[in-house]
Amino acid sequence: MKKRWLFARLGTAGALVAAAGVMVLAPPAQSIEASLSAQNSPVWQTNASVQGITVAAGKAYVGGRFTSVRPPGSPLGTNEVGQAYLAAFDATTGDLVASFNPVLDGQVYAVAASADGSRVFIGGDFTNVNGVTRNRVAAFDTATGALVPNWKPSVSYRVKSIAVSGDTVYFGGSFGLVNGIDRLRLAAVTADLGTLLPWAPSTNGDVYAVDVADDGSKAYAGGQFSTVNGTNQNTVTSLDPVTGAVLPFAGASAVPPPNGSCTTRVKSIDASGDTVYFGNGGDGGGCFDGTWAVDIATNTLKWKNQCLGATEAVKMVNGWLYKASHAHDCAYNGAGAFPQGFGYRFLLAENPADGKIGPWFPNTNAGPPTEVGPLALATGGSDLWVGGDFTTTNGAGQQGLTRFTNAGPGAAPAKPAKLLPSSVKAGEVQIHFPTVVDNDDSTLTYRLLKGFSNTTIATWTATSTPWDKPWLHYTDTDVTPGEVTNYRVEVTDGTTTIRGNYSDPLTVASATSTAYDEIIKSDGPQAYWRLGEASGTTTSTDSSGQSNNGTYSGMTLGSSGKVSGNTAATTSSSNGRMAGEKAYSMPQQFTVEAWFKQSFLRGGRIVGFGNSKTGNSSSTDRMLYLRSNGQVTFGVNDGSQRTINSTSNKNNSAWHHAVGTYDNGVMKLYVDGVLAGSQTVGQASLYYGWWRVGYDTTNSWSGGGATQTGMVIDEAAVYPYALTAGQVLNHYNAG
């Protein structure tokens, strides 16, 4: 992942210029960048799990462990309509189809429809439907809602998955017999009369998922097995759809073999076009939980996405692969998205060409009994029905069932922040602000508006996600010293436009400011801790305007500061520190800055990033620290601990200014306004963490672990981009 510093400046020629002389542009904004809106559409709810869904004949058929349903917006226990284990809802309105009211004596796990939509097949634990025997499978006529009287295979135990291909119904589960004949967890019957077919592959463990290629050339099964027809098949197999013979399947190499700490199983399969997609769930730390895709004709692996958090279901809809999971680490092994600690994303879209996470960010929660969230996905062609164990969708009450359509306008962009423009040079205004998120369009257009006339003075197109919101920057030189003006930002996804609040009125400078804090704030810090609170204070105030206050621990306040009129903080213990309250996802573009002084032979960490807000971090980098020989070190972990060192003797009880910058692989260290060194490295370590001032773990780093006690730190700041050499020198001179 790469973050961008987008810097716009409109001069007399109206030129748009980016940092480092490179313009970074994204595609034009569009209201729904994925194929579905992230805004859920109204649909009735269930009082417990939904485990299987299909859409046919204008209705969504939903099976599970629920015993009643209720309208959207109704809390649990209100407006309940008794309907156990199987229900139907209008595919357009989401309303309950009251005329479809079958009576079952056990839960439903699988629901599938014939290609023409005339029949719906269900599987589960039931043995009786509408007062007649139906052992674990049954069929309904979608035109009348009636149980099909002459379709009644008898299955000995649970049916977990069903797939229909032409005139054949394939199913898998935990059973051993069908119609009293051996069928070890996989079987097939005719779609018209339910006649048992000779297709009889046998597995040594339960089958969780079955599907058939669109052209009927191959069948696939996945589950808790290691052999099929006596041959080794690790959790997944490709089968001849007529004979049941095991077919070559090189793409299955995507699934790691079980070991003592990890067993991963295929839980979902969706064959679509020329590709078959799989979703896995593992039972150990770091165990494969992701998705993978295989070319049906060649059996070759196309891609593998290794997000952690078991994938329960996958479904192709309008050119995107949607997945239901409890993903919690999609930075793992190059998965390309958010890191551990960011939170759970129970619904995601992936690009079917490469498996990368797409621009679709609705969410549910996880509810009982599984506490994993969504479990089942289905589509009628241009929508997505989601069922599972959840009680909210997009933060509002919606239990068990939700749906998404491609109806516009889709989700709206979030409201831009109120701007904090600054003017510290005559005839110049600096403006810095973070981008926002639109849950179904990661590419948005931003316009900077000036004055109450809302005159557009700059335009950007930028890409953002919930975990990666780059900042935009602009210098307005079309102003007059002494002029009073204001600014605001508007953002659009191509359909919906949202405007932020006006900034407070700003008087354009008539002379260059020498006030240190004003100079720092004019360069747009993401956090700026002046560390000048009175003794006894426990909270460090963030002066950047970004509300990232911090908490002191083991620090003495009130020490003489570097900047006149402000005091500093001293690490009065070996682990004295201050940690900001806001967390960030693996910054790939940043600056860390602070003034410090320390006595001879002592050192310590000055400022940096760590994955613990309160204790000692197990992952820590993006930091400035002082060695016992007085060298200042800037460290970034790109898989190896990369460091740049200054000259020694900076622990001479005098104030020194240290700045570390990192811009997508280029790291630089400045000490006392001068570049001490630079190098090109890899991507900075992918973890979720907090910016911290003072102590954190450095013992494993070269020259780390020096005695921290007694270090005085002042004017610590973090920026969401790399400061230039000129900005660094300006800060040093101002101090």
Instruction: Give the model's pLDDT for residue 374.
Output: 98
DSSP state of 122: E
Cβ within 8 Å of residue 568, ≥6 positions away: 531, 532, 559, 560, 561, 562, 595, 712, 713, 714, 715
Q: What is the pLDDT of residues 597-612, one digit of tens each?
A: 999 999 999 999 999 9
Tell me how crowded residue 583 is: count the other CB atoms within 10 A of its CB.
16
Classify the C-alpha dihedral 185-190-195-200 as positive or negative. Answer: negative
d(CA 165, CA 669): 63
Instruction: Give the model's pLDDT for residue 284.
Output: 80
Tokens 């972990």 belong to: 637
- The answer to whether residue 5 scores a pLDDT higher than 80 is no
Tell me how crowded residue 511 is: count the other CB atoms within 10 A of its CB.
9
Residue with more model confidence, 585 or 1: 585
Q: What is the pLDDT of residues 131-159, one digit of tens each?
A: 999 999 999 999 999 999 999 999 999 99
Per-position DSSP letters for 184-241, written without gaps between them: -SEEEEETTT-PBPS----BSS-EEEEEE-TTSS-EEEEES-SEETTEE--SEEEE-T
What's the average model confidence in pLDDT over 701-709? 96
Instruction: Give the model's pLDDT for residue 28.
Output: 61
State the pLDDT confidence band at 260, using cuts at 50, 70 and 90.
confident
Q: What mean pLDDT, rounded, does the chain reach?
A: 95
Cβ within 8 Å of residue 453, ≥6 positions away: none
* Residues 304 and 336: beta-carbon distance below 8 Å: no
d(CA 652, CA 688): 35
Per-position DSSP letters for 429-486, written without gaps between them: EEEEEE----TT-SEEEEEEEETTTTEEEEEEEEE-BTTB--EEEEEE-S--TT-EE-
What's the average model confidence in pLDDT over 557-585? 96
Tell me how crowded residue 75 is: count the other CB atoms within 10 A of its CB.
10
Distances in whole angstroms, Cα of residue 367 to Cα of each of 76, 87, 372: 13, 20, 7
* Residues 703 and 631: beta-carbon distance below 8 Å: yes
Decide the pairing of beta strands 471-476 and 6-8.
parallel
d(CA 361, CA 345): 8
- The answer to whether residue 500 scores a pLDDT higher than 80 is yes
Instruction: Give the model's pLDDT for residue 9.
Output: 34
* Residues 137 and 156: beta-carbon distance below 8 Å: no
- The answer to whether residue 15 scores a pLDDT higher than 60 is no
3-state DSSP assignment of residue 149: coil
d(CA 283, CA 430): 51
Instruction: Give the model's pLDDT for residue 333.
Output: 84
Instruction: Give the model's pLDDT for residue 652.
Output: 98
* Residues 26 and 6: beta-carbon distance below 8 Å: no
Instruction: Give the model's pLDDT for residue 2.
Output: 32
- The answer to whether residue 196 scores a pLDDT higher than 70 is yes
Establish whether the linkage from the previous residue to 413 is cis, with ω within 30° of 0: no
Q: What is the pLDDT of residues 529-544, one digit of tens each?
A: 999 999 999 999 999 9
3-state DSSP assignment of residue 130: coil
Q: What is the pLDDT of residues 399-424, one digit of tens each?
A: 999 999 999 899 999 999 999 999 99
Instruction: Give the model's pLDDT for residue 29.
Output: 63
Tell me the pTM. 0.93
- The answer to whether residue 449 scores a pLDDT higher than 70 is yes
3-state DSSP assignment of residue 592: strand
What is the greatest pairwise CA distance in the chain? Answer: 93
Q: What is the pLDDT of residues 17-71, one digit of tens each?
A: 333 223 334 556 667 888 999 999 999 999 999 999 999 999 999 999 999 999 9
In the chain, pLDDT over 90 holds for what percent of residues?
93
d(CA 559, CA 566): 9
Decide the pairing of beta strands 443-450 and 484-485.
unpaired
d(CA 25, CA 17): 11
d(CA 694, CA 697): 10
3-state DSSP assignment of residue 731: helix
Instruction: Give the model's pLDDT for residue 27.
Output: 58
Q: Which two tokens stand for residue 169?
A: 């119904």
What's the average model confidence in pLDDT over 79-97? 98
Decide the pairing of beta strands 656-663 and 666-671.
antiparallel
* Residues 222 and 270: beta-carbon distance below 8 Å: no
d(CA 474, CA 490): 14
Helical (H) or strand (E) element with 733: helix 725-734
Instruction: Give the model's pLDDT for residue 590.
Output: 98
- The answer to whether residue 524 scores a pLDDT higher than 80 is yes
